[in-house]
Amino acid sequence: MEEPKKTYYEPMHTAEHILNQTMVRMFGCGRSRNAHIERKKSKCDYLLAAAPTEAQIHAIAEQVNAVIASHLPVSISFVPKEEASDFLDLSKLPEDAGETVRVVRVGDYDACACIGMHVTNTSEIGKFVILTHDYQDGVWRVRFKLEQQGE
């Protein structure tokens, strides 16, 4: 069983997981195909047939913040790859990945194979804010930040 290798800023990385699941649920798309996660701001790319409307973009932010406000526990488990393939998309796993998958769960909202660091509860994340977005050639890119209390 491997320890985490990625050292993303834990609140932002956990927010990315919530955003990914929100996009899957709202648009039926896959998780982000390209992500750049940083402390100050981050971006994710989603393959979509059309650009989300402003109302949908507002709904995305509302849903992500509702999940964060639910104070869900974030847990890590190690699951045999064969069992994990029943409930996870393992297409991003490297070919040389072992037979055990590290699964990160955000309450009962999201489960994802991930080697990164995360908060232990969504209450540690802060407020999710969409900064900008654009749509080109079937890819919707969203840039976002987290605001802590008092910002």
Model confidence pLDDT, tens digit, residues 55-79: 999 999 999 999 999 999 999 999 9
Q: What is the pLDDT of residue 2?
A: 45
Task: State pLDDT tens for residues 95-109.
Answer: 888 889 999 999 999
pTM beyond 0.85, yes or no: yes
Q: Is residue 109 one of the residues assigned to a domain?
A: yes
Q: Is residue 3 one of the residues assigned to a domain?
A: no
CATH number at residue 26: 3.30.980.10
Q: What is the pLDDT of residue 1?
A: 43
Report how far residue 129's alpha carbon sits from residue 120's, in angstroms, rounded to the nearest whole number: 21
Contact 68, 147 (CB under 8 A): no
Confidence tier at 24 by pLDDT (50, 70, 90)? very high
Q: Specify which residues 100 forms β-bridges with.
A: 80
Range of the domain at 38: 10-147
Q: Is residue 1 one of the residues assigned to a domain?
A: no
Q: Is residue 124 one of the residues assigned to a domain?
A: yes
Report how far residue 9's alpha carbon sits from residue 14's, in angstroms, rounded to the nearest whole number: 9
Q: Is residue 105 one of the residues assigned to a domain?
A: yes
Number of domains in the chain: 1
Confidence tier at 7 by pLDDT (50, 70, 90)? low
Confidence tier at 148 by pLDDT (50, 70, 90)? confident
Task: State pLDDT tens for residues 27-36.
Answer: 999 999 899 9
Report how far residue 29's alpha carbon sits from residue 39's, in angstroms, rounded to the nearest whole number: 26
Q: Is residue 5 one of the residues assigned to a domain?
A: no
What single DSSP character describes residue 20?
H
